């Protein structure tokens, strides 16, 4: 879903898309060319993207933790 500014809602982005956008925001802020109001708005967006990215990573970590015991059980049966 795109917002009025033409940017996708953070919730609709993949982890990789969020990471690319965070990197882009950091580069824009570091360039020093944005007005202060835009810096604040972009910082808020980056903060939300980071929050969602952490959530996605936590979900993947939980999936991996569920897979690991199954992997070790199946390899123990073979060996």
Tell me: the pLDDT tens digits for 43-75?
999 999 999 999 999 999 999 888 877 776 766
Report residue 4's pLDDT band, with 50, 70 and 90 as the boundaries: very low
The pLDDT tens digits for 7-47 are 788 888 999 999 999 999 999 999 999 999 999 999 999 99
Long-range contacts of 62-71 (CB under 8 A, 24+ apart): none
CA–CA separation, 58 and 24 (whole Å): 23
Cut 0.85: pTM above it: no
**Residue 6: which pLDDT band, with cuts at 50, 70 and 90?**
low
Residues 6 or more apart whose Cβ sits within 8 Å of residue 15: 53, 56, 57
């Amino acid at each position: 879903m795109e917002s009025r500014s033409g940017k996708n809602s953070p919730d609709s982005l993949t982890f990789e898309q969020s990471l690319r956008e965070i990197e882009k925001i950091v580069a824009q802020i570091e360039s020093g060319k944005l007005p202060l109001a835009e810096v604040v708005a972009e910082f808020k967006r980056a903060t939300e993207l980071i929050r969602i990215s952490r959530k996605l990573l936590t979900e993947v970590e939980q999936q991996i933790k569920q897979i690991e015991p199954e992997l070790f059980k199946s390899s123990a049966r073979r060996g």
